[in-house]
């Protein structure tokens, strides 16, 4: 069953109950609610374990993990339990590739200017590239949660619309960012465990980040079932 606290929903009961309980993205976002999100049930912890093992596969593992967290958000937006979400890795890979292409599309101007400025030893040009790259990174959450709703690739390749959504997110977006940045720094603690622990702390961090920004944009743009989202996509088995 779900208990409602000041910092959001908490799940209690047996492991079976935990694994079958949907997560309401309408609850207020808090730091502790976010960092506990990927660890709250046996199924969620097992998904982290699987995600870390996937990272042993170069490139493909990273893309599949991206697809996994997109599915987790998709399921929450449609009132379903987020985990387990590792079925059909080929579908997860497809979602990961599509959203990564969006990252490349947003980031290449900044990266190109950084490279050009470095080659020409032009500090001003390099800094313009750095600023453009940071703007691109800040815009990425502006399409991720919207893509998760219907898996519509048209939500991805419009950086100006994504930036507009970030601007509309206002203080809520920056609150999510203020949670994500320190959690990212904490995830590097996994390097202390012979380096390999970083595989699993990375997956934990990605899940926290997905939860934070999904909460902000789902609430701000009515991306869940309350906002009229259609039936969720049924993965092929």
Q: Which residues contact 124 (CB under 8 A, 6 or more apart)?
A: 117
Three-state secondary-structure class, residue 171:
helix
Give the containing element (helix H, strand E) for 179.
helix 159-187
- Residue 67 · residue 96 · CB < 8 Å: yes
Q: Is the peptide bond before 158 cis (omega within 30 degrees of 0)?
A: no
pLDDT confidence tier of residue 14, bands split at 50, 70 and 90: very low
What beta strand segments (E) does 21-126 contain? none
| 103 burial level (CB within 10 Å; 0-12, 13-18, 19+) | middle
> What is the chain's mean pLDDT, rounded?
88
Residue 82: pLDDT over 90 = yes
pLDDT recorded at residue 237: 33
**For a pLDDT cut of 90, what percent of the chain falls above it?**
79
pLDDT recorded at residue 5: 43
What's the pLDDT tens digit per position in 170-190?
A: 999 999 999 999 999 999 998
| Integer Cα distance of 86 and 51 in angstroms | 9
pLDDT recorded at residue 100: 97
Residue 137: pLDDT over 60 = yes
DSSP-derived secondary structure letter, 8 = E
Name which of 2-11, 26-35, 83-92 the model is least confident about: 2-11
| Integer Cα distance of 3 and 15 in angstroms | 15
Instruction: Count other Cβ atoms within 10 Å, centred on residue 98.
Output: 18
pLDDT recorded at residue 194: 75
Residue 156: pLDDT over 70 = yes
pLDDT recorded at residue 192: 86
């Amino acid at each position: 069953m779900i208990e409602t606290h000041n910092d959001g929903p908490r799940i209690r009961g047996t492991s079976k109950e935990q694994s079958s309980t949907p997560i309401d993205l309408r609850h207020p976002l808090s730091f502790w609610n976010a960092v506990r999100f990927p660890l709250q049930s046996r199924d969620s912890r097992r998904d982290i374990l699987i995600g870390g093992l996937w990272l042993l596969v170069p490139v493909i593992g990273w893309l599949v993990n991206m697809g996994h967290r997109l599915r987790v958000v998709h399921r929450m937006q449609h009132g379903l339990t987020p985990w387990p979400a590792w079925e059909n890795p080929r579908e997860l890979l497809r979602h990961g590739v599509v959203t990564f292409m969006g990252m490349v599309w947003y980031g290449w101007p900044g990266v190109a200017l950084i490279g050009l400025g470095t080659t020409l030893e032009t500090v001003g040009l390099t800094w313009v590239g750095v600023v453009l790259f940071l703007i691109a990174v800040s815009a990425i959450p502006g399409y991720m949660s919207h893509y998760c709703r219907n898996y519509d690739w048209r939500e991805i390749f419009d950086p100006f619309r994504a930036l507009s959504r970030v601007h509309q997110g206002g203080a809520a977006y920056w609150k999510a960012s203020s949670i994500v940045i320190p959690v990212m720094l904490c995830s590097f603690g996994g390097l202390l465990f012979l380096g390999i622990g970083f595989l699993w702390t990375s997956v934990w961090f990605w899940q926290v980040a997905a939860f934070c920004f999904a909460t902000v944009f789902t609430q701000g743009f009515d991306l869940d079932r309350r906002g009229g989202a259609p039936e969720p996509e049924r993965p092929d088995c």
